[in-house]
Structures are given as C-alpha cells and as structure tokens.
C-alpha cells in the first residue's frame, strides 16, 4: 500500500520534471537553454556512472573516457561524413562502446576501490591523449565549427538553442528509457544479483565476467552517446570538458541520487553540475575552493547515499555467505593488485 | 557402474597445516552420502574442493565421467553440482522469487525467442512451485534480506533445486535452525527426487542417520572409516575418534 | 673490438640523456607514489588529494629556495612538515566518514584536493613559479661524454638514498613490520588495539611527508603549477596499478618504467608518445588479469 503511494508519487514527480524540461526553453533565455542542454548531456553520463557504480557494483571515475571518445568521434563524423543526428549518435555510442570494450580487460577482474583507481587512470590518460594528439583532436585548443546537425534525414538543421536543447532532451529521454527497460530484463536482475553477492552468483553457475563486461560496454555506449549530445549542445569541445573533476562531480551526483537509482542519478548529476556552473558564474576566482568545501560538506550530510551504502556494506559484512570467501569485497580485491 | 562423482587422492595444505591428506571419495547417482568427523577433520575443505571453491594441491575430481579438476565453481554449477552453504547465501536485495529465478537461469534452455524474455519467464514458471514446496509462497515478493534465518535456508534449498542439480552439497544445513525447522528440513530433504545425489556434512548424527545411506568418517584430513550408518554407528574406531575429537 | 664498442656507443648515444632523465623522473615518481601506496595499502584509503600534498612541497620549494644550501634545507623541512600536517588534517576530515564506504572517502579527498589546489593558487598566484636550485648545482657535469644537469644527477643519488632508507625501514624495523602485516591483512591492525583514527593520522602524515619531500626535491623536475597535482596523482595511480601493493620492488620497477616511458620512450617514438603510458598499463593489467584468471580457474 505504502509502496504503491510512493510509486505513484515518484511517477508524478517524474512527469512534472519532464513537463518542466519540455517547456523550459520558452521560459528561460537562450544562454540558459544552452547550459541546460549541456547539463542534460552530462546527466546522461551520470546515468552511465550509476549503471556501473550502483547497479553493477563497479564504482567508476572514468566514464569521461567513453564520453570523450563519443564526442570526438561525433565531431569527426559531423564535419566529414554526415550531418544527420542519429548517425552521429550511433557513431558516438559505438565509439564509446569500443573504448569501453578495449578497457574491459583492465577492469573485469578488479572490484571496489581498485576499479575506482584504474578507471581514474584510464580517464586521465584519455584526457592526456586528447591534449597531445593534435592532428585529430586539435590539442588543448579543442575543436569547433561543426556544421549544424539535422536530427533525421530530411529534417531541417537545428539552428537555434531551443531546437538543440529539445533534440538533446528527446535523445536523453529515449536513452534513459532504454536503460530503464534494459534493467527490467534478465540483464538487470543479474547485475543486481552480482552486486549483492558475486561469489553466490558464480556458485549458481553464472559467468560473472561476461555480465561485468556487458555492463561496462553498455555504460560506455551510453556515455559515448552523451558525448555526441555535448557536441550538439556546446558546439565546441576541448579536453577540459572531460577532466577528472567532471568524473568526480558525476560520481558525487550519483551518490547523492542514491547510487542505484537511474532517476536519482539524473537528478543528482544535473544538480551537481548546475551548482558547479552557477558557482563558476558568481565566484570566478574562488569557485573551486567553495566547490571543494561543498564536496566535503555533501559527503558528511549525504542523507540517502551514505546510509544506503552503509546498509549495503553492513549487510554484506554481516552475512558473508561463504566460509572461505573474504568478508568484504574491498578486502577481497586488494590481493588482486599484488604482483 | 561408474560413480557420478569421484575424488581421488585429494590433498590440500594451507601453509604448514594439512587439511586433507590424500582423501578418496566416490558418490553414485542418487546416493545419499554423509561426511562426518570431529572439528578440523577437513569436511568443509572437501566440499570446497568438490564445489570448486578450493583448488587442491594434489588429486583429481571427476564428475559424470569428466575431469573437472580445473573448472571453477560456476562451470561446475552449470554441470550440475550445487551447494548449500553453512550460512545461507542468498541475494539480500532481491525478492525470494528473483533469487530462485537467478539460480534457475543458467540451466534454463530458451524455448521462445530471446526478445520475448523467454528464458526469464521459463525460470519464473519454475520458481513458483519450488517456493511453494519450500513453504515460501507467502513471502515470494519479500526481499531475501528481510527473511528469517530458517526461511533463508529454505530459500537456498529452493535455489539449489532450481539449478537442476545432479549432486547437492549440503554444508551443515541444520545449523541455527529450531527443532521445528530441523524437522521440516529433514522432511524436505527426504522428499528430494531420487535422481539427485546428496553429499551431506553434518555434526548431528541423528540427522546423518536419518538422511544418508552411506557415511564416510574423516579425521585429520584422512579417511578413518566408511560404510553404512549401522556399520559406522557400531564401529569402535569411530567411537574412539569421536571420544578424542569432541568431548 | 674497440670499434664495435665505439659503434655501439654511437648508436645509443642520443639516448643516454633521456635514459638518465628517465631514472631521475622514475625515482621522483617512486618517492611520490610510495606515499599513495602506503596510504592505500595500510589505511585502505584512496587519497585523491595525494597530488595536492606533492604540490604543497613544490610551492614551498619555489617560495623558499634562493640558491643557497640553507634555503634547500629549510624548504625541505618546511615542505615535509606542511605536507605532513596537511595529511593529518585530511585524516581528521576523514574521521566522520571512516565507517562509510570507500566511495565517499575518495569523494571527500577529491573535495579536499579541489579546495587545496584553489588555496595554493590563491596563495602563490596562478602562474607556474620558477624554482631556483642551489647555485653549486646550477651547472652541468660531464657523464660518459655528455653534459648533464648537476642537480638531476644529485637528485638521482638523493632519491636512491631515500628509496634505500624506505626499504630498510619497511624491512628491518618494527613499524615497517607492522606496515607489511597491515598490507597483508587489514583486519590484523584492528586486533592490535591501536585506534583506527590514530593509524589513519599516522599513515596520512607519513604519506604527506613523503609527498612533501618529493615535491621540494623534485620541484626542478616536476615543478609546481596548476596541473602538478593532477599529473602527480595520475603518475602515482599508474604506479600503483602497474606495481601492485605487494612489494616495494614492484613499486620501484613500475616507477622507473614510467620514468623511462615518459623520457626515453618519447625520444624513441615521438609519434606514439601520448599512447605509451596507456599501452604499458593495458599490457601489464592484461597479463596480470590472465594470470589471475588461470589461478582461479575459468568461470
């Protein structure tokens, strides 16, 4: 009964937010509309972070890597091959998926905080490459001047901030819907089971590394797709868009949103990014200081995120299911780094 | 007839501690075999070796005619070796039904097209009757983390059966259960399909005698005696071992 | 015979200096990364503010060094103390979330890194400052027929001495034994009856001191600036990923490999330079993952 009420309330809030997002470009000015579009793209990356961190149990600081791959692939395709949005989106998602697939061997056997470390290194290395591979990426100057995107064959190009925003909104809504549908299938069930108790899942005969790889690649595809949206929304990209601080902000947003909830990740990531953009607007010199302090304060205050994580941690340490298995997952992963 | 499972010359050492020193064990199809012995005799280690959780330093494990020594727990589970753990291992945030579905999935053959969710639905059809048989139909939609200990034990048995096992490894299934629950557990285990072989590790000899038709006694990592429950019950060797091992 | 040697020398000639630079760079990364390894291995904290601790040392060096030996000693003392104190502060900030998970701890250290970097820029200005080495080391010396910066040569000796001292401390002393035990078995430290908060403070202070020392001594090699913290954190992370936590030798080898990749590798393969570090990490992790997979049995 109470669940039903909560479910309805959640649905109503989601519908309200969606309606607000649809009418937003007619309420706010063009600049804010463009910022909103970019925030939507980043929130989609947040969804991919939540998919890995919360659903698959692999905390990541490296989703900026497939995000960047998607964005740069989209620019290359957009300026040389096709101005059709769905083509660019598909190529970007493919690029993100390919990058994620290439990094699967690095993360598939690691868990917990080690994944955090490896993905962070991957993300940072990708940014380094973007800065140095000038012939393709334009180096630290970035890339600009892509022709306007037309969403579909035969449609007019997106000429205004409103149009670009609405395109972004439609794509984000579609991809989030697809992710939600995917989580309702067998795949989502197995990912949740693996997060609960991976050893148990193995003992039932499941090929866990296969699930982990699949989740990693799917999250990479989503982040790559978000990259193509960033190109549309911002019409300019540079390595600074894909830095370590973006990853950390998104992870914070996902943790605020409750880690395992896709909707929560969308809201949390959008909120954190909006606060950052606002801070850099009003306090140009000291924004990082305030942002850092807010980070610390948020971690202390986190109402749901920390508690849920704690409950989960306690649940897993209170009931280790196998006498031979190490009690906590993180403790289990440390030996994996030993040479 | 070849045995379903045969472990030969299995040895496991943890550093200087010898857990198993050349143990042989074979189980035939449908056989109900119990493994007893004082604490530290190596019973759980032998279950680990058969289940794939522990790799022995020496010895081979053959199952259904094939050498499975090099396979991990997941591959063994797919071949039909399922285990029930000393502390019930369930997925706490998944509902009871979902737990059984997850356990059933690896052995479900898709009957319909994959896009219609065929495998999951088939697994779901299998979960309902299993939960009913375990007396869990009322709590099918409750997250497993909220279930009582005894219910989790029953859920784990349902999960093991959902994987269509040919060999069920039971590691002290009665631990932590009330007298009532133990009675129900014995009934459940006696009602298992005859085709399923069972390897039971248990301290309580009354359960061993109630559930098994052959018994192996381990002590200090070696086989001390083997035979029918009656033979074991009357064996002076075994009495001696228990008098030394457990006061 | 002589001719062969001479020809050999000629072929490797242009690479002597980058190779030597690689050793200097690698030893610097080793000292910096050992703090992170220590922190992660003993206290199980992923400290994303580790690069900022290094930057504190770097800025101290830039502010205090005036070309004399005394200023170097002063900068080293101040840098080590300041970075160590920052480590203790960080440990204090971590206390309220100590029972939480690693995710929130990492996020907290990231917030500290963000704020700390901003404070450093506010205090020392947004431009990358110049670092003056002691006048006696400003020139160059001749090594195997090549002129090489005297400071770097001395740095190699000093950093090697620090590495040796670290090795002796970890191998031979009681504290080092505890550290090794803690890396092997985190539960054990809890059984010793020492309060976890004190362990955290001690570990982060020691990690800060190492990073601070690296920052001061390495300022002429990886100088203070707005990117320093990120660069050092990235290099240290790659060292941990490549070298593992098990042995100091692994850490040292990984650090030296990174040093050579960043200097000699760039000189040998300039076009592939951006990808070399990535490729090295991928190769090592892939090999190790396969080793692990075969050890655990294919699933």
Give pLDDT, residue B134.
Answer: 87
**Cβ of residue A145 closer than 8 Å to a chain B Cβ:** no
* Residues of chain B with C-beta less than 8 angstroms from the C-beta of C299: 72-75
Establish if C78 belongs to a structural domain.
yes
CA atoms of C116 and A145, how far apart (whole Å): 36
* DSSP state for residue B59 in the 8-state scheme: E
Give pLDDT, residue B34.
Answer: 93
Burial class of residue A274 in the structure, from the number of CB atoms within 10 Å of its CB (0-12 exposed, 13-18 middle, 19+ buried): middle
Cα–Cα separations (whole angstroms), residue A237 to A47, A73, A242, C113: 21, 11, 9, 25
For chain C positions 8-27, those within 8 Å of chain A (CB to CB) are none
DSSP SS3 for B192: coil
Number of structural domains (chain C) is 1
More confident residue, C65 or B247: C65
Q: Which of A247, A238, A223 is nearest to A134 (CA)?
A: A238
Among the residue ranges A25-29, B57-61, B146-150, C174-178, the one predicted with the least confidence is: C174-178
Among the residue ranges A7-21, A160-174, B61-75, C71-85, the one predicted with the least confidence is: A7-21
Instruction: State the Cα torsion B229-B235-B241-B243 to the nearest 10°.
Output: 100
CA atoms of B51 and B71, how far apart (whole Å): 9
What is the number of other CB atoms lying within 10 angstroms of the CB of residue A260?
A: 23
Please provide the average confidence, as pLDDT, over all residues in chain B: 87
Determine, for residues B83 and A203 on separate chains, whether the beta-carbon distance falls below 8 Å: yes
Give pLDDT, residue A1.
Answer: 59
Concatenated DSSP letters of A269-296: HHHHHHHHHHHHHH-TTTHHHHHHHHHH
Rounded to an integer, the average pLDDT of B99-116 is 75
Nearest chain C residue to A132 by CA distance is: C274
CA atoms of A225 and A85, how far apart (whole Å): 11
Query: Do residues A167 and A34 make contact, with C-beta atoms less than 8 angstroms apart?
Result: no
CA atoms of A121 and C240, how far apart (whole Å): 10
* Residues of chain B with C-beta less than 8 angstroms from the C-beta of A208: 74
Query: Can you list the domains of chain A with their CATH numbers?
Result: 2-318 (1.10.3470)
Nearest to C118 among A59, A122, A286 (CB): A286
* Residues of chain C with C-beta less than 8 angstroms from the C-beta of A330: 44, 102
Give pLDDT, residue C289.
Answer: 59
Establish if C299 belongs to a structural domain.
no
Give pLDDT, residue C12.
Answer: 58
Rounded to an integer, the average pLDDT of A32-43 is 93
Chains in touch with A (≥3 Cβ pairs < 8 A): B, C
Give pLDDT, residue B113.
Answer: 55
Nearest to C104 among A105, A288, A302 (CB): A302
**Residue B4 has which token pair?**
């379903």
CA atoms of C149 and C137, how far apart (whole Å): 8
Nearest to A125 among C113, C233, C278 (CB): C278
End-to-end CA distance of chain C: 56
Q: Smallest CA–CA separation between A262 and chain C, in Å?
A: 18
List, for residues B142-179, the tens digit of each pLDDT value: 999 999 998 999 999 999 999 889 999 999 988 888 88
CA atoms of B202 and B214, how far apart (whole Å): 13
H helices of B41-148, in order, are 43-51, 73-79, 96-104, 118-133
Establish if C293 belongs to a structural domain.
no
CA atoms of B44 and B33, how far apart (whole Å): 14
Percent of chain A whose predicted confidence (pLDDT) is above 70: 88
More confident residue, C1 or B161: B161
CATH of the domain at C12: 1.10.3470
* Residues of chain C with C-beta less than 8 angstroms from the C-beta of B81: none
Determine, for residues C273 and A132 on separate chains, whether the beta-carbon distance falls below 8 Å: yes
How would you classify the pairing of strands B214-219 and B32-36? Answer: parallel
Please provide the average confidence, as pLDDT, over all residues in chain A: 84
Establish if C274 belongs to a structural domain.
no
CA-based angle A51:A57:A60, to the nearest 5?
Answer: 65
How would you classify the pairing of strands B167-171 and B81-84? Answer: parallel
DSSP SS3 for A183: helix
Burial class of residue B233 in the structure, from the number of CB atoms within 10 Å of its CB (0-12 exposed, 13-18 middle, 19+ buried): middle
Q: Smallest CA–CA separation between A297 and chain B, in Å?
A: 29
Rounded to an integer, the average pLDDT of A289-314 is 67
CA atoms of B85 and B47, how far apart (whole Å): 10
CA atoms of B245 and B82, how far apart (whole Å): 30
List, for residues A154-189, the tens digit of each pLDDT value: 888 888 999 999 999 999 999 999 999 988 888 889
CA atoms of B217 and B229, how far apart (whole Å): 11
Q: Which of B188, B196, B204, B89 is nearest to B147 (CA)?
A: B89
pTM: 0.85
Q: Which of A265, A321, A49, A314 is nearest to C100 (CA)?
A: A314
pLDDT band at A336 (very low <50, low <70, confident <90, very high): very low
**Cβ of residue C106 closer than 8 Å to a chain A Cβ:** yes
Establish if C297 belongs to a structural domain.
no
- Phi-psi group of A291: left, alpha or beta (phi > 0 → left; psi -120 to 50 → alpha; rest → beta): alpha
Q: Which of B191, B239, B240, B233 is nearest to B215 (CA)?
A: B233
For chain A positions 183-242, those within 8 Å of chain C (CB to CB) are 202, 207-209
CA atoms of A50 and A67, how far apart (whole Å): 14
Residue ranges making up the domain that contains C258: 2-268
Query: Do residues B229 and B209 make contact, with C-beta atoms less than 8 angstroms apart?
Result: yes
pLDDT band at C2 (very low <50, low <70, confident <90, very high): very low
CA atoms of B87 and B95, how far apart (whole Å): 18
Q: Residue A209 contacts by C-beta under 8 Å, 6 or more apart in sequence?
A: A108, A109, C299
Please provide the average confidence, as pLDDT, over all residues in chain C: 82
Give pLDDT, residue A313.
Answer: 42
Nearest chain A residue to B51 by CA distance is: A203
**Cβ of residue A252 closer than 8 Å to a chain C Cβ:** yes
**Rg (alpha carbons) of chain B, rounded to whole number:** 18
Nearest chain C residue to B71 by CA distance is: C297
Give pLDDT, residue A60.
Answer: 92
- What are the residues of chain B with a beta carbon less than 8 Å away from any beta carbon of chain C? 52, 55, 70-75
**Residue B155 has which token pair?**
């859920």
Q: Smallest CA–CA separation between C279 and chain B, in Å?
A: 30
Rounded to an integer, the average pLDDT of A189-200 is 89
The answer, yes or no, to whether residue B49 has pLDDT greater than 90, is yes
Q: Which of C251, C254, C289, C290 is nearest to A333 (CA)?
A: C289
pLDDT band at A139 (very low <50, low <70, confident <90, very high): confident
CA atoms of C79 and C101, how far apart (whole Å): 31
* DSSP state for residue C14 in the 8-state scheme: G
Sheet holding B58-63, edge to edge: B17-27, B5-14, B58-63, B66-67
What is the number of other CB atoms lying within 10 angstroms of the CB of residue C145?
A: 8
Q: Smallest CA–CA separation between A302 and chain C, in Å?
A: 9
Determine, for residues B44 and A323 on separate chains, whether the beta-carbon distance falls below 8 Å: yes
Percent of chain B whose predicted confidence (pLDDT) is above 90: 43
CA atoms of A21 and A57, how far apart (whole Å): 30
Greatest C-alpha distance within chain C: 69
Tell me the sheet residues that pair with A237: A143
pLDDT band at A219 (very low <50, low <70, confident <90, very high): very high
Give pLDDT, residue A217.
Answer: 96
B and C: number of Cβ contacts within 8 A: 15
* Residues of chain C with C-beta less than 8 angstroms from the C-beta of B53: none
Q: Smallest CA–CA separation between A224 and chain B, in Å?
A: 25
Tell me the helix, strand and coil percentages in chain A, rounded to 5.
Answer: 80, 0, 20
**Residue A65 has which token pair?**
């890597």
What is the number of other CB atoms lying within 10 angstroms of the CB of residue C76?
A: 20
Rounded to an integer, the average pLDDT of C206-214 is 94
* DSSP state for residue B109 in the 8-state scheme: P
- Please state the three-class secondary structure of chain C as a single string: CHHHHHHHHHHHHHHHHHHHHHHHHHHHHHHHHHHHHHHHHHHCCCCCCHHHHHHHHHHHHHHHCCCCHHHHHHHHHHHHHHHHHHHHHHHHHHHHHCCCCHHHHHHHHHHHHHHHHHHHHHHHCCCCCCCCCCHHHCCEEEECCEEEEHHHHHHHHHHHHHHHHHHHHHHHCHHHHHHHHHHHCHHHHHHCCCCHHHHHHHHHHHHHHHHHHHHHHCCCCCCCCCCHHHHHHHHHHHHHHHHCCCCHHHHHHHHHHHHHHHHHHHHHCHHHHHHHHHHHHHHHHHHHHHHHHHHHCCC
Among the residue ranges A107-121, B192-206, C18-32, C47-61, the one predicted with the least confidence is: A107-121
Query: Do residues C90 and C109 make contact, with C-beta atoms less than 8 angstroms apart?
Result: yes
Give pLDDT, residue A68.
Answer: 96
Percent of chain B whose predicted confidence (pLDDT) is above 70: 93
Strand residues in chain C grouped as ranges (E)? 140-143, 146-149
Q: Smallest CA–CA separation between B173 and chain A, in Å?
A: 13
Rounded to an integer, the average pLDDT of A213-228 is 95
**Residue A268 has which token pair?**
């949390």
* Residues of chain C with C-beta less than 8 angstroms from the C-beta of B71: 297-298
Residue B174 phi/psi, 5-degree rounding, is -90, -5
Give pLDDT, residue A334.
Answer: 33
For chain A positions 289-328, those within 8 Å of chain B (CB to CB) are 312, 315-316, 319-325
The answer, yes or no, to whether residue B114 has pLDDT greater than 70, is no
Burial class of residue C257 in the structure, from the number of CB atoms within 10 Å of its CB (0-12 exposed, 13-18 middle, 19+ buried): buried
* Residues of chain B with C-beta less than 8 angstroms from the C-beta of A209: none
Give pLDDT, residue A48.
Answer: 95
A and C: number of Cβ contacts within 8 A: 172
Q: Name which of B72, B76, B81, B106 to mutate to probe chain C: the one with the most chain C Cβ atoms within 10 A of its Cβ.
A: B72
Q: Which of C77, C233, C61 is nearest to C151 (CA)?
A: C61
CA atoms of C41 and B148, how far apart (whole Å): 38
* Residues of chain A with C-beta less than 8 angstroms from the C-beta of C119: 289
The answer, yes or no, to whether residue C17 has pLDDT greater than 70, is yes
Determine, for residues B93 and A190 on separate chains, whether the beta-carbon distance falls below 8 Å: no
Nearest to B163 among A205, A316, A320 (CB): A205
The answer, yes or no, to whether residue C5 has pLDDT greater than 50, is no
Residue A61 phi/psi, 5-degree rounding, is -115, 20
Q: Which of A125, A308, B201 is nearest to C277 (CA)?
A: A125
Give pLDDT, residue A229.
Answer: 95
Determine, for residues C299 and B73 on separate chains, whether the beta-carbon distance falls below 8 Å: yes
List, for residues A223-260, the tens digit of each pLDDT value: 999 999 999 999 899 999 998 889 999 999 998 888 77
CA atoms of A189 and B103, how far apart (whole Å): 11
The answer, yes or no, to whether residue B52 has pLDDT greater than 60, is yes
């Amino acid at each position: 009964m109470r669940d039903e009420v909560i479910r309805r309330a959640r649905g109503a809030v989601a519908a309200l937010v969606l309606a607000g997002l649809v009418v937003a470009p007619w309420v706010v000015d063009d600049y804010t509309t463009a910022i909103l579009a970019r925030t939507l793209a980043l929130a989609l990356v947040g969804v991919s972070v939540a998919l890995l961190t919360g659903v698959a149990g692999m905390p990541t600081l490296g989703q900026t890597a497939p995000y960047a791959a998607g964005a740069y692939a989209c620019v290359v395709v957009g300026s040389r091959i096709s101005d059709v949005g769905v083509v660019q989106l598909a190529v970007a998602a493919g690029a993100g998926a390919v990058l994620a697939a290439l990094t699967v061997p690095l993360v598939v056997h690691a868990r917990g905080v080690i994944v955090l470390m490896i993905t962070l290194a991957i993300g940072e290395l990708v940014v380094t490459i973007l800065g140095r591979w000038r012939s393709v990426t334009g180096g630290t100057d970035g890339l600009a001047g892509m022709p306007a995107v037309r969403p579909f064959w035969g449609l007019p190009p997106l000429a205004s901030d409103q149009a670009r925003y609405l395109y972004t909104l439609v794509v984000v809504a579609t991809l989030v819907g697809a992710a939600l549908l995917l989580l309702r299938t067998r795949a989502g069930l197995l990912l949740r089971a693996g997060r609960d108790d991976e050893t148990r899942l193995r003992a039932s005969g499941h090929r866990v590394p296969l699930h982990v790889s699949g989740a990693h690649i799917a999250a990479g595809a989503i982040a790559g797709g978000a990259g193509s949206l960033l190109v549309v929304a911002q019409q300019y990209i540079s390595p600074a868009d894909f830095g370590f601080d973006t990853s950390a902000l998104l992870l914070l947003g996902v943790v605020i949103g409750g880690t395992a909830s896709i909707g929560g990740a969308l809201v949390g990531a959008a909120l954190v990014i909006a606060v950052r953009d606002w801070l850099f607007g009003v306090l140009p010199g000291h924004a990082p200081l305030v942002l850092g302090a807010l980070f610390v304060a948020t971690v202390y205050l986190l109402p749901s995120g920390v508690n849920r994580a704690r409950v989960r941690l306690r649940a897993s340490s209170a009931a280790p299911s196998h006498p031979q298995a190490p009690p906590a997952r993180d403790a289990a992963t440390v030996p994996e780094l030993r040479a | 007839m070849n045995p379903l499972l045969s472990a030969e010359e299995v040895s496991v050492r943890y550093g200087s501690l010898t857990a198993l020193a050349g143990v042989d064990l074979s189980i035939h199809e449908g056989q109900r075999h119990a493994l007893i012995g004082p604490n530290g005799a190596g019973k759980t280690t032998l279950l680990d070796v058969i289940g794939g959780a522990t790799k022995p330093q020496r010895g081979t494990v053959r199952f259904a005619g094939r050498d499975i020594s090099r396979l991990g727990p997941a591959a063994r589970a797919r071949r039909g070796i399922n285990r029930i753990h000393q502390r019930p291992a369930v997925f706490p945030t998944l509902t009871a039904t979902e737990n059984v579905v997850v356990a059933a999935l690896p052995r479900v053959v898709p009957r319909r097209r994959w896009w219609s969710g065929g495998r999951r639905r088939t697994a779901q059809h299998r979960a309902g009757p299993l939960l009913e048989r375990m007396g869990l139909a009322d709590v099918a939609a409750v997250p497993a983390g909220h279930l009582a200990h005894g219910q989790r034990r029953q859920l784990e048995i349902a999960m093991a059966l959902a994987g269509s096992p040919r060999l069920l490894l039971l590691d002290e299934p009665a631990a932590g259960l009330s007298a009532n629950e133990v009675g129900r557990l014995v009934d459940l285990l006696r009602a298992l399909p005859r085709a399923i072989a069972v390897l039971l590790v248990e301290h309580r000899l009354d359960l061993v005698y109630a559930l098994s038709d052959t018994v192996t006694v381990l002590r200090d990592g070696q086989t001390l005696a083997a035979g029918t429950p009656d033979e074991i019950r009357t064996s002076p060797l075994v009495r001696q071992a228990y008098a030394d091992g457990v006061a | 015979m002589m001719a062969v040697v001479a020809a050999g020398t000629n072929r490797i000639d242009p690479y002597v200096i980058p190779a030597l630079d690689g050793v200097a760079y690698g030893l610097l990364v080793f000292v910096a990364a050992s703090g992170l390894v220590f922190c992660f291995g003993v206290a199980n904290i992923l400290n994303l503010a580790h690069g900022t601790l290094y930057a504190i040392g770097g800025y101290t060096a830039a502010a205090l060094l005036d070309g004399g030996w005394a200023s170097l000693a002063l900068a080293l003392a101040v840098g080590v103390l300041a970075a160590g104190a920052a480590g203790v502060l960080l440990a204090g900030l971590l206390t309220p979330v100590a029972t939480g998970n690693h995710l929130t701890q990492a996020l907290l250290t990231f917030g500290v890194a963000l704020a700390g970097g901003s404070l450093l820029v506010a205090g020392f200005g947004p431009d990358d400052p110049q670092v003056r080495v002691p006048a006696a080391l400003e020139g160059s010396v001749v090594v195997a027929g090549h002129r090489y910066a005297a400071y770097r040569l001395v740095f190699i000796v000093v950093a090697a001495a620090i590495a040796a001292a670290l090795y002796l401390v970890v191998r031979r002393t009681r504290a080092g034994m505890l550290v090794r035990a803690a890396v092997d078995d985190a539960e054990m430290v809890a059984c010793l009856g020492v309060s976890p908060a004190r362990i955290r403070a001690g570990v982060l202070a020691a990690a800060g001191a190492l990073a601070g020392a690296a920052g001061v001594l390495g300022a002429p090699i990886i100088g203070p600036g707005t990117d320093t913290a990120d660069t050092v954190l990235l290099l240290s992370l790659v060292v941990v990923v490549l070298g593992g936590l098990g042995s100091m030798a692994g850490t040292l080898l990984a650090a030296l490999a990174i040093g050579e990749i960043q200097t000699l590798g760039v000189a040998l393969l300039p076009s592939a330079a951006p990808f070399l570090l990535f490729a090295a990490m991928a190769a090592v992790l892939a090999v190790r993952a396969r080793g692990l997979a075969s050890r655990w049995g294919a699933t």
